[in-house]
Amino acid sequence: MQRSSSGGVLARAGLALLQRLPPETSHAVGLHALRLTRRWWRAPAASPALEVRILGQRFAHPVGLAAGFDKNGDYLDALGALGFSHVEIGTVTPRAQPGNPKPRLFRARESGALINRMGFNNKGADHVAAQLRSASFRGIRGVSIGKNAGTPLARAADDYVECLRKLHAHADYFAVNVSSPNTQGLRELQAAEALAGIVEPLQREARELAARQGRQVPLLVKISPDLSAAELSALCRALLHHGIDGVIATNSSTSIELPGPASAMVGENKGGGVSGAPLTSRALHVLTELRRELGAAFPIISVGGVMSAADAMARMAAGANLVQLYTGFVYRGAPLLAEILQALEWPRK
């Protein structure tokens, strides 16, 4: 990553300070600081050879920021200044909601992991639309959409469609989040029949919006790492059957055991999901199975446990079109993005 010397000093000092704060406080302070210091950052000029064209879009390079980091689009320009090719906002729900009670974000530093049970805390689709409308970020803007906690599963499709309708003019792709472990019952929507009840209304609405607005916005489905082999295979058949534009794999896990006190925070009953290094091998395995089941041309974004350049290179080698960072970025900051871009460029030199 190309930075001014003052920007580099600030980044190193800031990251060290943030690691001392409680996780959710650290996240909020870090985003505010990034917005204040963005003028010191110069985004890297990625080699044209790294350009990726999928989903009818041009990505400057394969590395983006996953959903959950900027839930409301409040920091899109500041995050974009770091050099990500795409930033995924959200998860957004139709109406603002506070999410689950605090504390709800925890570090398991010895494992290189985060545990979160945030619960789609966000300011609602109208706020996000306004933020995206005013942002100047020229990269690809993804928006992860979900249902409000109080909406019954039987009416979940209404929430997804409402988000699509409000945000369609401002997004470059949508991630249909049916895999968060932190909204009760949400993962049931990954089953083939339930998924049809979500994606079919979304596709109908997307066609109508595309006709009115003159632009098509792809729909991707974000999936869990905890599916069995049979469930994953059935999901792949459903994705192909319904003509879904792409898949994002994976969300956080509720079935990974962590050592020590952190183990008490994870699980379906506790609402906590693990991200970071413990998810690395599982996310890679899911990616490999997806590529085998879906074929060479199906767009796949790989996320989950990308903690180093080697992890990113392994995802690309396994067939990912794009990779996204989250926990690795929390622990290592912008230097991780620079490291990955350098590694991706090296074979081309």
Backbone φ and ψ for 169, nearest 5 degrees, come out as -70, -15
Q: Which CATH class is domain 5-348?
A: alpha beta
Q: What is the pLDDT of residue 4?
A: 42
Q: What are the residue boundaries of the structural domains of the chain, listed by start?
A: 5-348
Average confidence (pLDDT) per 10 residues, the chain, 349 residues: 45 66 87 81 80 98 98 96 96 98 93 96 98 97 98 97 98 97 93 93 98 97 97 97 98 92 71 93 98 98 98 98 97 93 80
> Per the residue annotation, which of 180, 224, 252, 253 is the catalytic one?
180
Q: What is the pLDDT of residue 260?
A: 78
Q: Which pairs with CB-CB distance under 8 Å and at least 24 residues apart come from 124-128?
A: 124/92, 124/93, 124/94, 124/95, 124/96, 124/97, 125/92, 125/93, 125/94, 125/95, 125/162, 125/163, 125/166, 125/167, 126/166, 127/72, 127/73, 127/96, 128/72, 128/73, 128/89, 128/90, 128/92, 128/167
Active-site residue 6, yes or no? Answer: no
Q: What is the pLDDT of residue 1?
A: 38
Residues 6+ apart with CB under 8 A from 288: 318, 319
Under DSSP, the state recorded for 63 is E
Query: For the chain, give me the number of helices (H) and strands (E)?
Result: 11, 13
The whole-model pTM stands at 0.93
Instruction: Determine how many CB atoms are found less than 10 A away from the CB of residue 2.
Output: 12
Q: What is the pLDDT of residue 263?
A: 72
Q: What is the pLDDT of residue 15?
A: 67
